[in-house]
Structures are given as C-alpha cells and as structure tokens.
C-alpha cells in the first residue's frame, strides 16, 4: 500500500503539471501542447545518439556535450575552491582579508562573467569554463571553510597530544573531518554549474542543450525549446541525486 | 628536584567580559614513577590543571618543569587519556593507535608501527576488534583503545583526565585493573598524574592523593597512600589506613561545603 502510494502520488503530480501545461497551451498561441511537443521532438528522444548536423543532434548527445563542459568547469571551480576553503577555514586573518572580495564576487550572474571571459580568453569554450568555474565555486569555498571551523576541539587536542606534524594533522584529521561539508559544497556547486551551462551556451552558441535551445528559439521551433528545458531539468535532477547519494554515503561514516 | 615540578601555576578564563580565576598559585611535585591522583568535584579546575601540566594549554603565570626543563607544548614522552576517548571516528581501532605510534616513532616502518599498535590492542583484549571503527565499539572498548593508544607510544609520563568517568561500575573496575597491569609491565617506570572525582579510584591506584576544592587556591595537602599492591576494592573497604586517607580526603573536599554559620559557631 505504501509502495503503491510512493509510485502513485508522484505520478499524480506529473499528470497535474502536464494538465497545467496543456491548459496554458490552449491560451497562449505559440506555446506547443505536450502532445505537439512530443510529436515534434520524438526524433531527438527516440534516436538520442544520432548526429545530423552541428546543432541537430540526438538529445543524449547534446546533453553529453553540456555535461562534459559542466564537468570541466566544475572540476576547475572546485580545484580552486577546495584549497581556498581550507585556507580560509584555518586562517582567520585570510578570511577577514578576503571576505569583502568574496561577498562582492559571489552574487555576480554568469551572464555578467561571460563577456569578461570572452575578452580575457578570446574564445568561447574557455570563456564558458571560466564562467562556470567562477560562478560555481562559492558554495564549495564557504562549506569547506565552515567544515574546517566546525572541527571539534577534541580532534585538535588529539593532534596536539599525539604531536602530529602539520601535514599529518591536515591529511588525517582536517580533511576527513571536513569531508561531509565539502561534499555538500560540491553538490551545491554542481547545481550552480548546471544552471550556468545554459546561459553560457546560449551566449556562445556552442553545441549542447543550451545552444540547441537558443538556436531552436531563433528558428521558431518552440516545441524543441520545451524539449531542451525538460532535458535540463531531468539531467539537473539526476546530477543532484547522484551527488546527494555520495554525500549520504560519506555522512554515514 | 622532583621529576615533574609544578610551581605557582595560575589560570583564569574570561567569558562575557567576566574574568574568572580557575587556578591561582598551584604547586605540586611528582617523583619519577609515582602515581599521583588529583581528586575533586566537577568544575573545581582540575581538568584545567591537568591540561596545563600536560602542555595542552599554557598557564597565565607559573611554570611546569619535567626532568628539569620547562614544558612548552605537549611533551614527546607523554601520553594523555581523556574521558571522552578522543578517537578519530573515520579510522579503525588499529589505525587510531597506529597514528599515535607513527607520530611517536616516525623512523619505524609502517609494518612495525602496525605490529606495535596491534600488540597493544591485543593487550587490552581488543585483538578481535582491530578493524572496527569507534562507532562500532562500546564505551568501555573505546576507552580500551584510548589506553592502548597511550601505552603504544611507550610513554614515560601518563596523564589521565577522568579516564573512567564515563563508564559503568563494572567496566570501570576491569579497566582500572588493566591500567595497573599495563603500567607495571611497561619497559620503563611510568609516572602518572590522574584526575578523578572518585576517592575510591584514587585509593585503588595512587601513591599520593591531592584533594582539590573549588576556588582558585584549590590544591589541598597531599596525602600518601601506604598500601601494598596489587590492591582490590574489597580490601580497601576494610583497611584502617585506607579509611584514614579516605577521611582526610573527604574532609578536605567537603570543608568548604559546610554552611558558613556553622563554621562561625565552631
């Protein structure tokens, strides 16, 4: 009974959302209905790996390009953010010094970073990575910092009492104690990176879900916009679940 | 000069703009190989005293000398056991002990460090739990790991901060005996300073007992426990000397607790 409800209730929610969509499509002339969207998009879904042109590709391929771009930008971001978070967590001086800079940089939209990246790198691909990295790094910086600060005095005492070297203290106590916080940061950072990808692909016109969305808008094929939107949502949801799973595994230790 | 020489140690903490003197001019000498217990009630500053002597926190005034040299930071030849075990939850029992061995004997191979750790865990009866994490161990077993960790570094000085305070009476007793056995079978004499709130525990283990009351000038007159070893809790109950020591310690601990009016009358 409970399992049935677990399956049934979400299904009811989905049907309800589809009804709202359908209702809206009867009122807005250019908004395709769910059925029309499926009819016009099914080739992308049923042949997800087919490549017909630069932008005209199966949805799985487009999502793959976007994911690869996000992965690179995200890895670049956390490669900077994690050490920075540790340093800020361990040094009050440094964190007081950098706090105003971070508070100013943090709320800047990816749309604002991207032109700057284009000026600096002169190419769209590195500019996109730059925007993803610089936007997505903050949750990892802040969570890692908070994690280091939350290490109980007991553990610092262990380091003191056992006379562990600074390196051993860092590797065997600080990192493991901070790991759960770090992973929360990673999960939030990945979420932001995935948000940024669409904006950066739209502006740079590179192949991927976001690039596809923008091109189909310009080609007036509105059903494909909805396909792209749904793909972005589903992929983002799966990413978050995967990171969440890794996080709970870590916290269980 | 005694092996551990504590002279005029003072410490105060300030919280919310209010300064509170925890210790003021506390002095104590501990001979090499001696077992000294400091007995006091909660909040009398005995834990702070031990942390200063062990070099975990620095005193505001006064000095602690070990073997004639001033203590700055934790001594390389000292080990400390805390009441709350202080094990690292992400490591197995073996790795917790190995970490301490590795820090004490950095020149040893990993293999030798592991052997040393395993041997000391076996000595406290945890040979079958080497790979278990602290969360998979009972309180008594965790404290056994902490004790194994302390002895695995082959310390000359052992600081015990209410080591058995969180354990039930039966576990407490078996661990006390375990401690006596490990101390007496160590390669070199172990000098021990223990903090406890149990007079019986102090009687069972110590050469000397120092009562400590609340308030800055808190260290009372040390009293010697002249009883042959090994001692058992049962013997102590009926021994005359033990009764006198107990009476002295309890009297010094409760002196300040009597109502002020009665004292004036007396």
Domain range list for chain A: 52-251
pLDDT at res. A253? 60
**Cis peptide leading into residue A16 (ω within 30°):** no
- What pLDDT does residue B259 have? 54
CB-based contact, B100 to chain A, within 8 Å: yes
Share of chain A above pLDDT 90, in %: 51
Residue B256 confidence (pLDDT): 63
> Which structural domain, as residue segments, surrounds residue B259?
1-31+43-70+190-266
Listed in order, strand segments (DSSP E) in chain B are 4-15, 18-30, 35-40, 61-66, 69-70, 78-81, 157-161, 191-196, 208-212, 223-224
CA distance B165 to B98: 25
Nearest by CB to B56, from A155, A160, A173: name it: A160
Q: What's the domain count of chain B?
A: 1
Higher pLDDT, B266 or A166: A166
Which carries the bigger pLDDT value, residue B72 or residue A1? B72
Give the least confident one: B20-34, B185-199, B205-219.
B205-219
Cα of A142 to nearest chain B Cα, Å: 23
Q: For residue B236, what pLDDT is reported?
A: 86
A52-251 CATH fold: MetI-like fold (1.10.3720)
Give yes or no for residue B71 having a pLDDT over 90. Answer: no
- When pLDDT is cut at 50, 70 and 90, the band that residue B264 belongs to is very low
Query: What is the pLDDT at residue B155?
Result: 93
Nearest-5° Cα angle at B65, B62 to B67: 170
For A37-60, what is each residue's pLDDT tens digit?
A: 888 888 777 777 777 777 777 888
Helix (H, G, I), strand (E, B) or coil at B14: strand
User: Residue B265's pLDDT is what?
Assistant: 43
Over the stretch B170-200, which tens digit does the pLDDT of each residue have? 888 888 988 888 888 888 889 999 999 899 9
Contacts with B56 from chain A: Cβ below 8 Å = 157, 160-161
What mean pLDDT comes out for the span A186-214? 88
Can you tell me the distance from the alpha carbon of B157 to that of B52, in angstroms, rounded to the nearest whole number? 14
Are the C-beta atoms of residues A193 and B106 closer than 8 Å to each other? Answer: no
- The answer as to whether B10 is a domain residue is yes
Q: Find the closest chain A residue to B76 by CA distance.
A: A163
What's chain B's average pLDDT?
Answer: 88
User: Does residue B209 carry a pLDDT above 90?
Assistant: yes
Left (φ > 0), alpha (ψ -120 to 50) or beta: where does A14 sit?
alpha
Check pLDDT > 70 for residue B260.
no
For the segment A154-163, the average pLDDT, to the nearest whole number, is 91
Q: Could you tell me if residue B108 is inside a domain?
A: no
């Amino acid at each position: 009974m409970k399992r049935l409800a677990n399956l049934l209730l979400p299904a009811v929610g989905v049907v309800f959302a589809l009804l709202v969509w359908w209702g809206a499509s009867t009122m807005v002339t250019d908004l395709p209905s769910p059925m029309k969207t499926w009819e016009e998009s099914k080739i992308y879904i049923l042949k997800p790996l087919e490549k017909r042109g630069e932008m005209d590709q199966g949805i799985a391929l487009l999502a793959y390009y976007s994911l690869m771009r996000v992965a690179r930008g995200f890895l670049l971001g956390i490669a900077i953010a994690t050490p920075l978070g540790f340093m800020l967590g361990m040094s009050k001086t440094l964190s007081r010094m950098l706090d105003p800079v971070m508070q100013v940089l943090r709320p800047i939209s990816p749309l604002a970073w991207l032109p700057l990246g284009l000026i600096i790198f002169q190419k769209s691909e590195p500019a996109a990575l730059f925007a993803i990295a610089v936007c997505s790094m903050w949750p990892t910086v802040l969570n890692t910092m908070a994690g280091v600060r939350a290490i109980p005095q007991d553990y610092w005492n262990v380091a003191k009492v056992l006379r562990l070297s600074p390196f051993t203290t860092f590797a065997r106590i600080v990192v493991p104690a901070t790991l759960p916080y770090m992973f929360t940061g990673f999960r939030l950072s990945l979420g932001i990176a995935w948000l940024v990808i669409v904006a950066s692909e739209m502006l740079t016109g590179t192949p991927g879900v976001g690039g596809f969305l923008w091109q189909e808008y310009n080609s007036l094929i509105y059903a494909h916009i909805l396909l792209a939107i749904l793909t972005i949502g589903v992929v983002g949801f799966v990413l978050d679940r995967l990171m969440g799973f890794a996080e709970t595994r870590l916290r269980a230790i | 000069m005694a092996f551990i020489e504590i002279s005029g140690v003072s410490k105060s903490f300030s919280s919310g703009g209010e300064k509170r003197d925890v210790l003021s001019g506390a002095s104590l000498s501990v001979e090499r190989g001696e077992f000294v217990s400091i007995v006091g009630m909660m909040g009398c500053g005995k834990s702070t005293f031990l942390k200063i002597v062990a070099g975990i926190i620095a005193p505001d005034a006064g000095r602690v000398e070990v073997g004639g040299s001033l203590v700055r930071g934790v001594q390389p030849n000292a080990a400390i056991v805390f009441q709350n075990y202080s094990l690292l939850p992400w490591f197995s029992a073996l790795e917790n002990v190995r970490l301490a061995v590795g820090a004490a004997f950095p020149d040893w191979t990993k293999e030798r460090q592991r052997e040393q750790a395993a041997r000391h865990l076996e000595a406290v009866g945890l040979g079958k739990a080497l790979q278990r994490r602290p969360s998979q161990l009972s309180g008594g077993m965790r404290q056994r790991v902490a004790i194994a960790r302390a002895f695995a570094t082959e310390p000359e000085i052992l600081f015990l901060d209410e080591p058995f305070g969180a354990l039930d009476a039966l576990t407490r007793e078996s661990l006390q005996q375990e401690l006596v056995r490990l101390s007496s079978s160590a390669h070199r004499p172990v000098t021990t300073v223990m903090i406890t709130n149990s007079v019986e525990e102090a009687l069972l283990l110590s050469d000397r007992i120092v009562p400590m009351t609340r308030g800055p000038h808190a260290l009372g007159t040390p009293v010697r426990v002249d009883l042959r070893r090994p001692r058992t809790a049962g013997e102590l109950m009926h021994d005359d000397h033990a009764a006198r020591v107990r009476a002295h310690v309890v009297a010094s601990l409760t002196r300040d607790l009597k109502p002020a009016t009665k004292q004036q009358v007396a």
